[in-house]
Every structure is written in C-alpha cells, then in structure tokens.
Structure 1
Amino acid sequence: MGNFSSRIISVLAMLAMAGNIVAVTLNEAKQLYLDGDYESALPVFKKALASKPRDGSLNQWVGVCLMRTGHADEAEQYLKKAQSRGIAEAPRYLAELAFNNYSFNEAGEYFENYDKALLKAKKTMSDEAAGLQRKITLAKQMFDGVEKITIIDSVSVDRESFFKAYRLSPESGSLNTTEVLPSGAKYADETVVYMPESKELMMWAALDSANNYELVQSAKMIGGKWERPHSLGSSLNFGGGDSNYPLCLMV
C-alpha cells in the first residue's frame, strides 16, 4: 500500500511539473512575441489555441505571428476572430493588412474601430500605430487625388498634323489653319494660326527677308477688317533662327 501511495504521489508530481512546463512555455512564447521572434512563438500559440479556439488573445497572437512571418492571408481570420472577442489591438493589425493590400478606405475603417477600442479600454496609441495611422491618412488623400484624374481621349497623329488634332479649352483660344488669315496675308508653309477667345487677334509665322520664320500678328479693326500683319519683334523672335507655333504666347 505504501509503495502504491508513493507511486500515486510521484505521478501527481510529474503531472504538476508537466503543467508548469506548459505554462512556462506559453509565457516564454509571449516574451518571444514581445521580442519580435514571431517564428519561434507561433507553434506554441497554435498549440494553445487548439485547446482554446475561442480565446481572443491567442487568436490575435497567432494572427500577428502569421502576418509577421509572411502568411498575411492566413492571418486575417485569426485577427477577425480576435476583434470579435473584443481584443483592442486586433483592428490595428487588420488595418495594417488592408493597407498592405492597398485597401486604404478599409484600412481607415479598421483604424476608426481601433481608436474606439482604445478609448473604451482607456489605452493610449503606440508610436508604431500612430505611424501607421499617418500612412493610411496620406495614402487615402493621394488615392482620392488619383481618382479625380479623368482620361478624356487620346489620338495618334503624325508630326505635321499635331496642331490640327490639338484641342484647347474655349477660354484658351484656338489653333487654326491658314485658311482663316485675311486675304493676301503671307505665311510660312508649316504654321498654325492662334486666335484668343475674342477672335480679334491672329498670330502665326511668316518668312522674313532672310527666309527665316518669324512671328507676326494682325488685329481686327473697327468695321471688321484686319490690320496689315506686322512682326512681333525681337523679344518673341529668335535672331537668326526660326520662330513658330505661337501656342503658349497668349495662353
């Protein structure tokens, strides 16, 4: 009987020691987690979670370890479970997952939930989390700006036809062929005629005495006739070179 009792006591002592080992191992895993050694902590957390699948903290720890070891897709389900169990930090990691997937609006929504969870738990935001919040805010602003860009149209043309295809807004004036010039006006073979919105001025290129292109203009006079074209002068014409395409001069 004495030997039997001794054996029972020995078995109980071994079980108690085994329990302590498990508890210490989990505590060690928590420390590994805090130290950033997620790969070593992950199997311990997974084993503990198998026995307590509804535990919010274990779900978060497993989720974060998976995320930090390159298994983001697998991590999401655990973090969502942790969030459903009221773990305050879970939305912060879900926001990070969404941010890394370029889902900036979703990331912003998760971070709003994180703010509320911190307020409810009376906790302050870490510097790391605050940095993530700034990145999410900036990304949303940049993404919203990109969404405002609209592609109206595109067309491929040869060099000679470029200004025929180019379109200006009405307030910027118009580019025209030489057909709009007053009768008898001289012009270079390759040029466009710029007219402001008022259509009371024309500007184009003509040949000077040295057969160089120079910019000339003509203004509409009272009665609807056009004045004699005259050079715009050296300030808008390059001495000894060609000046043409007066698009930007009046815009």
Structure 2
Amino acid sequence: MFRPNRNRFFKKKIIFVINIAPEYAMKRLLFLVFSLAFATLCLRAQTLEDARNMYRAGLYAEALPVFEKNLKKKPKSPTLNQWYGVCLYETGRRAEAEKYLKIAANGKIPESYRYLAGICFEQYRFVDAVNYFSRYIGYLNGRKESKEDMDDYELLATQAELGAQMLSKVQVVQVIDSMVVDKDDFFLHYKLSSEVGSLHDYHSLTGDDRPGASPVFQTQRRDKILYAVPTEDAGYELVTRIRLGDDTYSEEESIDDLNTMYDDSYPFLLTDGVTFYFASNEEDRTLGGYDIFVTKYNINTDEYSDPEQLPMPFNSPYNDYMMAIDEVNHVGWFASDRYQPEGKVCIYIFLYEKTPEFYFPEDRSLRLRQLARLVSIRETWKDGVDYKPVLEKIRNMQPAEKKTPAKNAIAFVVTDRIVYTTLSQFKSKEARDLFVKSQELRRVISANETELDRLRKEYSAGKNLSATAGRIQELEKLLMTLYPQPEDYEKQSREAELSFLQKK
C-alpha cells in the first residue's frame, strides 16, 4: 500500500475543487472530508492493533496480511511470529505455519505449543507432538486451568503416544483403489462375494423403522445378522440375531464382551465364524474417532478375546470403520473420513493377505509416515504388479441382494412324536440356546472344512508350502476338537427341553 501518495492525492483534489468551483466548494468539501474520514478508517483497520482485534475475533484471513507486513519489519518477534503462524494454521496453510510457530515457541509463548502439537500430530510426527502437548499441559498446570481442559490435552497426549507406538509397526498394504462416496449409504458401494456374506441397510433388511441402526452384516448362510444400535445410557452397542424358521430373526442379543460405554459398531464376521471385525471410538484406546479392531470368538468358552487394534494404515486420527474381508477375491474394504469434507467418506480397497508383513520399525522416514497416512495409494503398489484384473472382477460383481432366511430351516427331534422345525417352538430358553450353540458349531465346522479343502488344493499346487502346511495342521487339530461338540450340545438341549415339558 502506498499511503503517502494517496494522502497527497486527497489533499490536491480538495484544493483543485475549491479553485475551479467555489459555488460548490462547501458541499464538495464536506463530501470529500467524509471520504477522507472513511479512507482513514479503512487505513486504521489495517493497523497492528486492529489486526490483533481481528485475530481475537477469529478473523484470521483478514488479520494475516497485516501481521505479514509487520513481521517483515520485526522477523524475530516471538509475538508477531505467533500471530502470523496461527493465522496461517487457521487458514489451512499449516505446513507454512510451523516455521513461525517454532520461533514463538522459542520465545516461550505457550499457545504455540498446542498449535505445533497439532501440526506434528497431523504429520504423524507423534514423538514431537507428545513433547509439545506435554509443554502445553505444563503451562495449563501453572495457570490452574479447569480439569476439563487438562483432560482434553492429556487425552491428546495419550493418543499421540499411541500413534508413536503404532508408527513402529506399519503394515505393508497394497491399496489398489479408492472412491469418495456419501457417508450415509457408503456401505452399498462394497461389492462382496456372496460366499462371504453381505451388507445391508437395516430398515430394508428387517422392515423395522427404528432409526439409528448401523449397516447390517448378514452371514453367507443368511442365518445370522450383526449390527449396532444406539442405547439410552451409552453409545452404540453391537448386537446379534439368529435366523428363525419363519422368515424372522430372534430377539437382539448384546455382545457384552465387546461393548463399552462408547460407540461400538460396524461389525463383520469372517467365514470361519470366529474372526470378528468392528469399530470403536473408545477414547483411551484409539487414535481419535473410530478405530478398527479385530477379535476372536472362543467357541468352547463362548467368549471373545481382547480386541486388537489394527495397525496403520488401516487406522488414523480420523474415523476408520467397516472393515470387510472378501476371502474369495482376496481383497478387503474399509471406510475412512480422513482428508474428506463433511458428509463424505473414502472407501479403500486393498489386497488381503492372511500373513501380514510390516515395514522396518526403525524406519521413521517421511515415506513411512506417508504410507501410514495413505497420502497416495499409488505409493503402496508393488513394481510390476498388474491390479487391473482384480479391479475388473470387482467392478463386474453384482451388488448383494436382500436375502431372507428360508422357512423350516431346522429339524430337531425332541421325542419320536415331537419334532421342532423352528426355533420359536422351543418352550425352554435354556434348551433353545443350547440348540443354537450346536448350530453355530456346525456352521463353524463347515466353514473350516471349506477352508481346509481350499488349503489342501493350494498345497497340492505347490503354493506357499510352508505357511499352507502350518495352517492345514492347525485346522485339522481344531476340527478334531469341534466334531463331537454339536451332538453334545444337541443332547443337552433335548434333555433341557424334555425336563421343561415334564415340569409343565
């Protein structure tokens, strides 16, 4: 801005008007005085003091050029660097902001610590983020800030520490495609083989108008559905329902082993009937928002193992959820709102490997952080690998149909004269639960037999002999343990039902 010439221009203009048009001098003079006052006001709006006021009001874009101008005069001023750095950060120029915020931090301006922590956290420089969060927490302690503020930043520091741990074990994943879709119905874009199950809208599958339910996973045999529902005293909870023989499902049963006081949702069960994926936003064990977890169901104890958080790049400081594995096509799907505008999510499609590989833990390079963040899916590709056939196969798959269970799905002999064809015929809840357990075991056995048959064919073809042989032995041992169990549970079910009938 060329302020001196502009002032002289207004002064000359006034004299010129007075000299050539005296009869209009007073009116024009008043008008020009008003214009001069207005211009002066505009100039004042660009002073450092006004820029500070705009800064306090959150008008960072308006304040930024004034701070930039003043910073050129005093480049080492911690305060000016703080103001300018924050304005850059808040207007989306975060990478540029770090340089100036560091000068402010060296000048011991506390607010710079939390902004630097945010920059480092977003860039997956978690060790630096922990350091800056700790410095800011120390500042808050000295000011005796509210416990709520302290808790917020201590949680962020904890999440940064978790991020540092996770960065030491980043999984090698080939992400072969991605698509940005609407958040509300993102799951309808998943194309899964019918042999692994399907995802559905809750209302369209169940006919229930209850709002808020998550997408529903239906097993490949259509005998079980899993989803999440909102609760009154907590967040979302995972539930399961078993197929009945009359085109309906049983009452919802909460999966208590996995549910927390937070949101637990987006379930998916592998065909083995044991491996279970879901998402949770429990603060103490996530990077922020939803993270994806996996657990194993123990058939003998009827319990789930402690959930394990999936590594990066599947999880991030954003919301990551709805992991689905298509073992037939050897691909996996998951959704994330990282780097997406409100109302949108990105669906990532990756090659599924049963035996994962990891990058070297000592490699903390920029490239590793970019791979962990999924900055570019092309960076995850392997040289010389053609992903087009897999993608073409997926694109040509038809979307899953809404499937209802078949009628009269069971035939359970209670006595020579009593045969149940639906679960609703059971009079004893204990007997019904035992029978359901027996059917669950039969499904698990069937799924593992299918898997064993596939692995034996792979072994015969000479594929991955060492790993395949080990897995074959595991499945053979498991099946030997499982084979007698369904009949044992059916016997217990029959005895419990007869006992109940006799008492009546």
Query: TM-score if structure 1 supplies the norm length?
Result: 0.51
Mapping of 1:154-165 within 5 angstroms? 154=355, 160-162=453-455, 165=468
CA distance in 2, matches of 1:42, 1:113: 26
Aligned match of 2:143: 123
Matched, 1:235 2:436: no
Matched, 1:79 2:382: no
CA distance in 1, matches of 2:120, 2:87: 16
Q: In structure 1, what residue type is equivalent to 2:477?
A: Y
Mapping of 1:36-115 within 5 angstroms? 36-115=58-137
Q: In the TM superposition, what is the alpha-carbon distance from 1:123 to its structure 2 partner?
A: 2.9
Mapping of 1:195-210 within 5 angstroms? 203=480
Q: In the TM superposition, what is the alpha-carbon distance from 1:149 to its structure 2 partner?
A: 8.4
CA distance in 1, matches of 2:354, 2:97: 43
1:32-73 Cα offsets, whole Å, 9 max, x none, are 111111000111111111111111111000000001111111
Contact 2:113 2:132 in 1 (8 A): yes
Contact 1:60 1:82 in 2 (8 A): yes
Cα 1:133–1:48 change in 2 (3 A) is farther
Gaps of at least 5 residues in structure 2 are 1-39, 173-352, 357-450, 460-467, 492-504
Q: In the TM superposition, what is the alpha-carbon distance from 1:166 to its structure 2 partner?
A: 5.7
Gaps of at least 5 residues in structure 1 are 1-17, 169-173, 177-191, 196-201, 206-214, 217-231, 239-251
Tell me, what secondary structure is at the counterpart of 1:41?
helix
Contact 1:96 1:132 in 2 (8 A): no
Cα 1:72–1:124 change in 2 (3 A) is farther
CA distance in 1, matches of 2:123, 2:54: 27
Cα 1:237–1:83 change in 2 (3 A) is same
CA distance in 2, matches of 1:69, 1:128: 24
CA distance in 2, matches of 1:93, 1:49: 19
CA distance in 2, matches of 1:233, 1:136: 49
Matched, 1:175 2:197: no
Query: TM-score if structure 2 supplies the norm length?
Result: 0.28
Q: In the TM superposition, what is the alpha-carbon distance from 1:102 to its structure 2 partner?
A: 2.0
Q: In structure 2, what residue type is equivalent to 1:160?
A: D
Percent identical pairs in the alignment equals 32
CA distance in 2, matches of 1:203, 1:149: 36
Contact 2:47 2:66 in 1 (8 A): yes
Contact 1:88 1:117 in 2 (8 A): yes
Q: In the TM superposition, what is the alpha-carbon distance from 1:147 to its structure 2 partner?
A: 4.5
Tell me, what secondary structure is at the counterpart of 2:477?
strand
CA distance in 2, matches of 1:149, 1:74: 27
Moved more, 40-49 or 143-152: 143-152
Q: In structure 2, what residue type is equivalent to 1:154?
A: T
The structure with the greater share of residues assigned to strand is: 2
Paired residues, what number? 166
Cα 1:35–1:153 change in 2 (3 A) is same
Cα 1:194–1:159 change in 2 (3 A) is closer
Tell me, what secondary structure is at the counterpart of 2:487?
coil
Whose RCO is larger (CA < 8 A, sep 6+)?
A: 2
Contact 1:49 1:55 in 2 (8 A): yes
Contact 1:194 1:204 in 2 (8 A): yes
Q: In structure 2, what residue type is equivalent to 1:115?
A: I
Cα 1:203–1:56 change in 2 (3 A) is closer
Which of 124, 134, 140 is matched with 2:155 structurally?
Answer: 134
CA distance in 2, matches of 1:23, 1:204: 80
CA distance in 2, matches of 1:236, 1:146: 45
Tell me, what secondary structure is at the counterpart of 2:470?
coil
Q: In structure 1, what residue type is equivalent to 2:453?
A: E
Bigger radius of gyration, 1 or 2? 1
Q: In the TM superposition, what is the alpha-carbon distance from 1:108 to its structure 2 partner?
A: 0.5
Q: In structure 1, what residue type is equivalent to 2:127?
A: N
The structure with the greater share of residues assigned to helix is: 1
Contact 1:104 1:136 in 2 (8 A): no
Cα 1:148–1:24 change in 2 (3 A) is closer
CA distance in 2, matches of 1:130, 1:53: 35
Cα 1:66–1:236 change in 2 (3 A) is same
Q: In structure 2, what residue type is equivalent to 1:131?
A: D
